[in-house]
Amino acid sequence: MTAANHSVNKGTVLIIDDTPGNLAFLSDTLSEAGYRVLVAIDGHSALEQIGFLHPDIILLDVVMPGIDGFETCRKIKSNPATTDIPILFMTGLGELDNLLRGFDEGGLDYIVKPIKPTEVLARVDVHLTQARTISRAKTALKHAPFAALTVDRSGRITWLTPCAETLLSQLTEKLDSSRKVEIGALPPQPISGWLREQIQANHIGRELPSEIDHILGNLSIKLSRSADSHEFLLLLQQRAGSRDWNLESLKDSLGLTLREAEILMWISRGKTNKEIGIILGSSPRTVNKHLEHIFEKLGVVTRAAAVAMVMQKAT
C-alpha cells in the first residue's frame, strides 16, 4: 500500500476538461499526492456533479464544447452554495489575454499548459489552504458573538457579521426606523450621521459621543480603519452587565433618589460627570453633588466601590 493510501484525504479536486489525456494526467498526479479526484468532460456534467458532490477546489479548462470555462465559472459563482469554491483556470499560452475575463467571472488563478505536475500541486495546495482558512474564519464569525461591519466612504454597509445584523436590526426596531439592515444600506440614525462626519473629518478610532451613546443603551460602537483603504470597520459591543437597571427597585433598597440611582447606572457604564450631565441635562457640578450624596448613603468613598456594592442589586 502506498504512502498516499495511508495518508488522510487532502481534499476533493474536480477537474473539468474535454481532453481525455489531460484528465488522466491530472487525475494520476493529484491522486498520487493524496487528493480525491472527480472528473467532468464538459460544463454541463460538471454542474450536475457539483450539485451533489461538493468539491474543495476546481481545475477548469477554458476552451470546451457547449458552455465554455467562463460560462461554467459564472454559473458556479452565481450559486450561493458553491460560490466559495476556488476555481483555477487551465489555459494555453496563446489564451492568456482571455484570463482577464476569467478573473472577472470569479476565477482565482490559472495554470498554463503544458501542465507541470509540481506547479499544479503547489497551486492546488496553496489555494486550498487559503480557502479553508477563509471558511473557518467565516464559520467563526457566523457563530461567535462578535459584531462587526465595514462601510465605504459614503457610510454604506459593505459587509457585516450575523451578530452585527442582529444588533443593528434590534436598534432599528427600537428607534422605530423603517431602514433595512443589509449590504448597500446605511446604518440606522443617529449612527449613520455620526459615521459620515467622522469619515469626512478622518477621525478614525473614535467612539460614539455620549449624546448619541445614551440613545443606544448598552451598545457601544467604535470606528477603526479596515485593511481595505476604501472601507472602514465598525466594532459593536454589548457592555457586559449593562442591561437597563431596575431603578425603582434600586432606589428603594438603598434609600436613593431616582436621579441618584440613574447616575449610578451611568457611572457603571464608564461615563464621566461631564458625560452624565449631558445625558441627563444637568451640569457636572450637579452630578458631583449627587455623587456626594450617593457616597454618603452607601458608606463608600469611590465610584468603583459604589458600583461594586449595587451591581448584584441592579441586575
Tens digit of each residue's pLDDT (9 = 90 or more) over 246-291: 677 778 888 888 888 888 888 877 788 888 887 777 888 999 999 9
Q: In what order do the strands lie in the sheet with 231-238?
A: 157-160, 147-152, 231-238, 219-225
Return the bridge partners of 190, or none: none
Peptide bond before 190: cis, by omega within 30 degrees of 0?
yes
Q: Decide if 286 contacts 260 (C-beta within 8 A).
A: no
pLDDT of 1:
39
| 129 & 90 share domain | yes
Q: In terms of pLDDT, which residue wins out, 170 or 81?
A: 81
| 45 & 156 share domain | no
Expressed as residue numbers, the domain containing 35 is 3-141
| 225 & 281 share domain | no
| 13 & 130 share domain | yes
pLDDT of 215:
60
Number of domains in the chain: 3
Give percent above pLDDT 70 in the chain. Answer: 85
| 197 & 307 share domain | no
Question: Is a pLDDT exceeding 60 seen at residue 3?
Answer: no
Q: Decide if 210 contacts 279 (C-beta within 8 A).
A: yes
pLDDT of 292:
92
How far, in Å, CA of 165 to CA of 287, rounded?
Answer: 36
pLDDT of 4:
45
| 102 & 162 share domain | no
C-alpha cell at 203: 477621525
Domain end marker among 97, 112, 141 = 141
C-alpha cell at 267: 457611572
Question: Is a pLDDT exceeding 50 seen at residue 118?
Answer: yes
> Considering all CA atoms of the chain, what is the largest pairwise distance in Å, rounded to the nearest integer?
89
